[in-house]
Structure 1
Amino acid sequence: MSKLSEQDIEKRLLEFPGWDYYDDAIHSEFEFENFKDCFSAMSRIAFECEALNHHPEWTNVYNVLTVSLTTHSKNGVTEKDFKLAAAIESILEPEED
């Protein structure tokens, strides 16, 4: 898997509103109702990270989850990062009633 060009990354980001590209990574921030909901989402995401064998750089402060995705072995963003971003978006998608 090769590192994507900045142009390719910007084009792919059109599919991911709320994600930005800087510092050789794609980044997003998610806000939840409370700490428990945020931590629960992180736990669900962790299972997907293990399945993909790709792990985010992330922080959690109370109800906010900040995520950065990069492929360290390629020194930048690859398709692997977009695959994980899509999985995160799918996990965090609001449930329809």
Structure 2
Amino acid sequence: MKALDHEGINLALLSIPLWEVTKDGKSVKRSYDFADFNSAFGFMVRSALKAEEIDHHPDWRNIFNVVDVVLTTHDVKGITEKDIQLARFMDLVYN
């Protein structure tokens, strides 16, 4: 697996418009706001099951009703299709 180039990242962002590329260009990030802690935690559980399924795990944190997510592929030090795939899934779960 190799990192997406600048053009590939921009194209991929069209399918995950609420995500943004980090300043270093090696990750995508998004913050999710929920009604309460239980909703936020439920989102994390569903996302964790998908992450295990595709063997790709997020860097994230949860503070009460907010989940902040950063996705990167550490092996290639950049953004890959796996990051985009997991971001799309998370957006589907959220919506």
1:47 to 49, 53, 64: 49
Partner of 1:37: 39
Q: Distance in 2 between matches of 1:72 and 1:78?
A: 10
Instruction: Say which SS state the counterpart of residue 51 (structure 1) adopts.
Output: helix
Q: Which runs of structure 1 show a deviation greater than 3 angstroms over 4 or more consecutive aligned residues?
A: none
> Identity across aligned pairs (percent)?
37
Match of 2:29 in 1: 27
Identify unmatched segments of 5+ residues in structure 2.
none
Deviations 1:42-61 (A, max 9, x none): 01111000001000000111
1:15-94 alignment runs, 5 A limit: 15-22=15-22, 23=24, 24-93=26-95
**Counterparts of 2:20 and 2:41 in 1: how far apart (Å)?**
23
What is the Cα deviation at residue 7 of structure 1? 2.2
Distance across 2 between alignment mates of 1:64 and 1:17: 19
**Is 1:14 matched with 2:23?**
no
